[in-house]
Amino acid sequence: MDYTATQSGFRQQPSMRLRNSPGDSPDGSQLFEDTSRAGPGPQAGYRNQQAGPQTAGFPGQTLLSEPMSNLAMAYGSSLASQGREMVDKNLDRFIPISKLKYYFAVDTVYVGKKLGLLVFPYMHENWEVSYQQDTPVAPRFDVNAPDLYIPTMGFITYILVAGLALGTQSRFSPELLGVQASSALVWLIMEVLVVLLSLYLVTVNTDLTTIDLLAFAGYKYVGMIVGLVAGLLFGKPAYYLSLLWCCAAIFVFMIRTLRLKLLSEAAAEGKLVRGARNQLRMYLTMAIAAAQPIFMYWLTFHLVR
Amino acid sequence: MAFTLYSLIQAAILCINAVAVLHEERFLRKIGWGVDQSVGGFGDEPGIKVQLMNLIRSVRTVMRVKKKNFNI
């Protein structure tokens, strides 16, 4: 009975269709497809005018299931969107995703310039981060702004190159990759914590956030990778030479970047401002910058034999 | 040299525990690091020693609350 009802309902379709849209042959073919599935008859007109194949899949046993399934779908989708809002809100409390997005707003030109700056910072003159109404400008528009893309990629590349180096010395096993990764990560976290602690002790009023410090600490991976690759390709003397060059470069880079953020205005411009506080801050800047080459050597020397 | 994340967490917990079990009266006062011994410098620069003392004091205070919650 249902089938005859549907067929009669569908047979009413072509005349209605011809009145509404004369040139719609694809819809005509869809009509024939729909008749292969059992559907409630009187609702067929409503369904096909919506041209929605999504409800055609329901094996409509009763005529009442049609509005109910629409209702259920609407309710389900609203539940899903509510759930997603809740997850987003809670996640945002722990990991500031919007702030993280700023650090990843980079483009190719910025990455190229920054890598060049990390290896050769001696010609760059203006190290100030430009601001735009109290918020720092995104890294895409300012070479001096810290970003997290280079440190992240550098960290991953360092682990891969370390695996490569171990493999060429036939010391490789997959667990060692994990060991290298966690070890480097631990050193990174310890360095960031020590820097945070020392900044707190010296009571520096600075706008350096933790993520900024993480970014600065991650910049040394670029130098490490250069040194490791040179050591792999050309042997130990090349490793030492390139590491020396990159250490000096990172030292200068860190001092010039941190000087503007940690020291007071006058001292940052190069004038010697006497006073115990400024001296302490200068020592702190130099200590942070000097720690970078030490870490670079410590994390790579056991990989080049 | 192979540090793992777990060893870092262990070291952190041990350090915090060490700071928490420091007895102020017996040890810190003898060295001159008791918090009531630091004359409040209301001007600028508290100085490193005062900051460190404040840090130890605040860690101890936070740990006191958390230890009570844990043991209960």
Q: Which residue has the tokens 């800047």?
A: A285
Q: Please report whether residue A39 resides in a domain.
A: no
Which long-range contacts (C-beta less than 8 Å, at least 24 apart) are formed by B51-56? B51/A200, B51/A201, B51/A202, B51/A203, B52/A201, B53/B28, B55/A200, B55/A201, B56/B19, B56/B22, B56/B28
Give A183 to chain B, closest Cα distance, Å. 5
pLDDT at residue A241, as a whole number = 93
Q: Please report whether residue A187 resides in a domain.
A: yes
Q: Please report whether residue A270 resides in a domain.
A: yes
* A236 vs A21 pLDDT, higher one: A236
With bands split at pLDDT 50, 70 and 90, how would you rate the model's confidence at A20?
Answer: very low
Q: Please state the rounded mean pLDDT for residues A1-26.
A: 46
Among A187, A203, A302, beta carbon nearest to B46 = A203
- Alpha carbon dihedral A102, A106, A111, A115, in 10-degree steps, equals 0
Residue of A201, A284, A300 best to disrupt the B interface, most CBs of B under 10 A: A201
Who's near A122: CB < 8 A, 6+ residues apart? Answer: A249, A252
8 Å CB contact of B3 and A187: yes
- With beta carbons under 8 A apart, name residues in chain A contacting B46: 203
Please write the tens of the pLDDT for every residue from B1-12: 567 888 888 888
With bands split at pLDDT 50, 70 and 90, how would you rate the model's confidence at A210?
Answer: confident
The residue in chain A having the minimum alpha-carbon distance to the alpha carbon of residue B48 is: A201
Q: Please state, rounded to an integer, the average pLDDT across all residues of chain A.
A: 77
Residue A226: name the closest of A201, A246, A249, A199 by CA.
Answer: A246
Q: Please state the rounded mean pLDDT for residues A124-145.
A: 79
Q: Is A186's Cβ below 8 Å from some Cβ in B?
A: yes
CA distance A9 to A41: 5
Among B4, B7, B51, beta carbon nearest to A201 = B51
8 Å CB contact of B4 and A190: no
CB pairs < 8 Å spanning A and B: 34
pLDDT at residue A7, as a whole number = 47
Q: Please report whether residue A16 resides in a domain.
A: no
Percent of chain A predicted with pLDDT > 90: 14
**Token pair listed for B65:** 């609350």
Please write the tens of the pLDDT for every residue from A81-117: 888 888 877 776 667 777 788 888 888 998 999 999 8
Q: Is B45's Cβ below 8 Å from some Cβ in A?
A: yes
Give A219 to chain B, closest Cα distance, Å. 21
pLDDT at residue A18, as a whole number = 45
Q: Is A202's Cβ below 8 Å from some Cβ in B?
A: yes
**Angle value at C-alpha A116, between A291 and A289, nearest 5 degrees:** 15
pLDDT at residue A160, as a whole number = 92
Q: Please state the rounded mean pLDDT for residues A7-15.
A: 46
The residue in chain A having the minimum alpha-carbon distance to the alpha carbon of residue B50 is: A201
The answer to whether the CB of A221 falls within 8 A of the CB of A157 is: yes
8 Å CB contact of B7 and A186: yes
8 Å CB contact of A186 and B8: yes
Q: Please report whether residue A40 resides in a domain.
A: no
Q: Please report whether residue A8 resides in a domain.
A: no
Q: Please report whether residue A140 resides in a domain.
A: no
Instruction: Write the single-letter amino acid at A160.
Output: L
Q: Is A172's Cβ below 8 Å from some Cβ in B?
A: no
Among B4, B45, B51, beta carbon nearest to A200 = B51
Give the dihedral sign, CA A228/A230/A232/A234.
negative
8 Å CB contact of B4 and A182: yes
Q: How many other C-beta atoms can be found within 10 angstroms of the C-beta atom of residue A148?
A: 20
Instruction: Write the single-letter amino acid at A131.
Output: Y
8 Å CB contact of A277 and B45: yes
Strand-pairing partners, residue A136, are: A131
Q: Please report whether residue A282 resides in a domain.
A: yes
Least confident range from A39-43, A85-89, A114-118, A293-297: namely A39-43
With bands split at pLDDT 50, 70 and 90, how would you rate the model's confidence at A172?
Answer: confident
With bands split at pLDDT 50, 70 and 90, how would you rate the model's confidence at A50?
Answer: very low
The answer to whether the CB of B8 falls within 8 A of the CB of A186 is: yes
Domain that holds residue A292: 150-301
The pTM for the full model equals: 0.67
The answer to whether the CB of A219 falls within 8 A of the CB of A291 is: no
Give the total number of structural domains in chain A: 1
A226 burial level (CB within 10 Å; 0-12, 13-18, 19+): buried
With bands split at pLDDT 50, 70 and 90, how would you rate the model's confidence at B40?
Answer: low
* Strand intervals (E) in chain A: 131-132, 135-136
With bands split at pLDDT 50, 70 and 90, how would you rate the model's confidence at A131?
Answer: confident
CA distance B59 to B48: 16
Residue B35 reports pLDDT greater than 50 = yes
Give A174 to chain B, closest Cα distance, Å. 15
